[in-house]
Chain A
Amino acid sequence: MDARTVVEPAPHIQVESLTVVYEKPKAAGTLIAVSNVNLDIARGTFVTIVGPSGCGKSSLLLSIAGLVKPASGCVRVNGKPVSAPGRDRAVVFQDFALMPWRTVIDNVRFGLELQRPRGLTGGDLTERACRYVELVGLKGFEHYHPHQLSGGMRQRVGIARALAVDPEILLLDEPFGSLDAQTRDEMGSELLAIWERNKKTALFVTHGIDEAIFLADQIVVMARDPGRITKIISVDLPRPRTVETTDSKRFIEYRRQIRECL
């Protein structure tokens, strides 16, 4: 037996010839959003997806989440085919999707209430929600409602809500899309810090090339019509990453590479 196959762990997420098709609204026919995509993601890695608008990034992410049904092909997590959302995955949405009638702490508690980890009482859930509110730096804002928070703070609530259910896989759909450049950078660094501590597998959709490089172990570059993967780049930059990382020669080289395929 070849020694290499023995040490190589099975991928955490396997996407096998995935095709996602939507009905065209108010028109006959269908639209192929994702066409025959193959992708393996190793446990504990941070993978970013970049590509032009409409190339099927969200569709790919939501298929992995189990929120969109593939037309053909399949997604496997830990070797098992995905047919619905599960406790092993949590999504951070681009538009936050916070409940306006719930306070910060209750929003973070939302996923916990739905999943109700075995043996935990209501008090335990609140306590756990409280910990995650603190983790994302919102201590003191527990009883605010979403409309009383800034965009960056809202997105932290979204991230805390996903982290609180302690998923193995974190699926983030342009989570910093609506933030200004500076807040974006800060949140990116914080997200990395949290990820490094918890060692989750992260899949992160973004429009920002620099952001994609800064966060990633692997960058998936996609193209549209039909939505497909054009290149997968392994990022070999030391961690923890800092502002200086973005000035390094290698970083600039990665940036050039991605620009080329977009």
Chain B
Amino acid sequence: MAKIKGFVEFSIEQCKGCELCIEACPFDVLEMSHQVNGKGYTYPLMKHPEQCTGCTSCALVCPDVVITVYKVPTKK
């Protein structure tokens, strides 16, 4: 079976640095930045993009709707 591949994008300025997305990712894709956004919060980055499956878990728990998820459609 072909590997399922996806990636995520963040509206960084909307992020409040709660880290719930980090906790929710089953594939250890995300880590928090060392920089801060305009509100002074750290925000998530893709540390291991190649491990992202586009499963949407991070986006589902994000309280501030920061995350957009993309996925490569799996071929039949």
The answer on A and B forming one complex is no
